[in-house]
Amino acid sequence: MTVWIHSMSFPASCQAARATGEAPTVQTPPSTADTEARRLVTAIGRGDEAAFRELYDRYQERLFKLALVLGHGDEQLAGDIVQSVFVTAAAKLRHVESEEHLWNWLARVARQQIAKTRRQRHHDATVVGMAELPECAHAREPDSVLEENLDAALLLIEADDRQLIEWFYFDGLSHHEIASHLGATPKAVSSRLERARARLRAILKHTLSHET
């Protein structure tokens, strides 16, 4: 199993990237979130390492949740997809109009990466179809439904198992750190995580198969 990354550096091939074009004139006072989104993307276009890390820190958890559901609980695939999204962002993300636009862009890339992987595996035509949804102002709604599916699935597993998954995937704790919390061994934590992941995968596959 590929270990899920907890931090990510600006890809070396994108260090010299430069932004192209200028942001359009804003006619109404922008929200703080929209202003921050534009600032981040502009800085990333200049090859700013700190801005790239900030983007990663802000969106990696949400993207991982989306990829986990699109991948039917395959956490290795989800981790790989998230890394691919940020590599693509470093190379191609140069302009957004708002925070919503930024999230829609990241989510669309995640869908495209899932679709590419699934096509290569000749598996799961349903996810491929979802990945080809056009970017639009309402793209957040399908993502919200998918995140709700994940949240619902987490609630169906044992509370202790849910805590393990949240510690490992969403809080970024290592096996050793979790073992310290529980007064257990890292090997015991690894075994419990594997059982919890298997249960979560089964629930997600069952839920999504009934929705498609």
Q: Given pLDDT bands bounded at 50, 70 and 90, which one contains residue 19?
A: very low
Query: Where do we find the tokens 């940020």?
Result: 86
**H-helix or E-strand spanning residue 162:** helix 159-165
pTM listed for this prediction: 0.55
Query: How far is CA 205 from each of CA 4, 69, 95, 103, 150, rounded to the nearest angstrom?
Result: 21, 9, 36, 25, 11
| pLDDT tens, position by position, 151-201 | 777 777 888 888 888 777 766 778 888 888 888 898 888 888 888 888 877
Total length of the chain: 212
Range with the poorest average pLDDT among 63-72, 103-112, 153-162: 153-162
Pair of tokens at residue 143:
């993502």
Residue 85: CB partners within 8 Å, gap ≥ 6? 63, 106, 109, 110, 113
Asked if pLDDT for residue 70 goes beyond 60, the answer is yes
- CA angle (142, 42, 4) in 5-degree steps: 55
Identity of residue 141: E
Q: From CA 173, how far away is CA 167, in angstroms rounded? A: 6
Q: Which domains does the chain have, with CATH numbers?
A: 31-135 (1.10.1740.10), 157-212 (1.10.10.10)
Distance of CA 3 to the CA centre of its chain: 15
Helix (H) or strand (E) holding 38: helix 32-45
Report the distance separating Cα 59 and Cα 88, nearest Å.
14
